[in-house]
Amino acid sequence: MDKQLEKLYQDQIKNEWYSAYLYLSMAAYFESINLEGFAHWMYKQAGEEQEHGKKMFQFLIDRGIKVVLQAIPQPPADFASAVEVFEKSLEHEQKVTALINGIADMADKCNDRPSKVFIQWFITEQVEEEKNASRILDLLKKIPANSAGIFQLDHQLSKRE
């Protein structure tokens, strides 16, 4: 594998685990304000991000590349509201999409067919990730302050499998 492409994958493994950390921090925030459905949704999201990191980890192993784990930065711990959390979530997913697209571009440039096939799953996944964060953010913005609607949405989010 091209060394630049390998570096992008190594970095993205760290980025996927940072995403998990970020979502766990968001879950902790929701737990602290007794929105357990929102917390549940974030715990599930964190688990997905861990799986993404593991997939990339295994892909490199399968290609005969030694994975070198990097330090994971501390995520933010304080948020002003559920709206802010989902604004940050959407912003984060857009950043991840750009990083994944960068890997795809490099795979194209290097004509690395296994990478081209592998990264396509992540490209498709990012469409869903952005859609989910955007949808919840849109719903949150429609709920008036101090409305029971936040509890209805909390209940709905608690059902995520």
Tens of pLDDT, residue by residue over 1-14, are: 999 999 999 999 99
The reported pLDDT for the residue numbered 145 is 77
CATH of domain 3-156: 1.20.1260.10
pTM for the model: 0.95
Spatial distance between the Cα atoms of 94 and 133, rounded to a whole number of angstroms:
10
Cα pseudo-dihedral 132, 133, 136, 140, rounded to 10:
-170
pLDDT tens-place string over residues 20-52? 999 999 999 999 999 999 999 999 999 999 999
CA distances in angstroms from 141 to 84, 88, 93, 114, 159, listed in the order given: 10, 14, 19, 42, 21
CA-CA distance, 160 to 157, in Å (whole number)?
6
Taking only the tens place, the pLDDT of each residue in 52-96 is 999 999 999 999 999 999 999 999 999 999 999 999 999 999 999
Q: Which residues of 133-150 are buried (b: 16+ CB within 10 A; e: fewer)?
A: beebbebbeebeeeeeeb
User: 22 and 43 in contact (C-beta within 8 Å)?
Assistant: no
Domain ranges of the chain: 3-156
Region at 15 (left for phi over 0; alpha for psi -120 to 50; beta for the rest): alpha
- Give per-residue pLDDT as tens, 94-136: 999 999 999 999 999 999 999 999 999 999 999 999 999 999 9
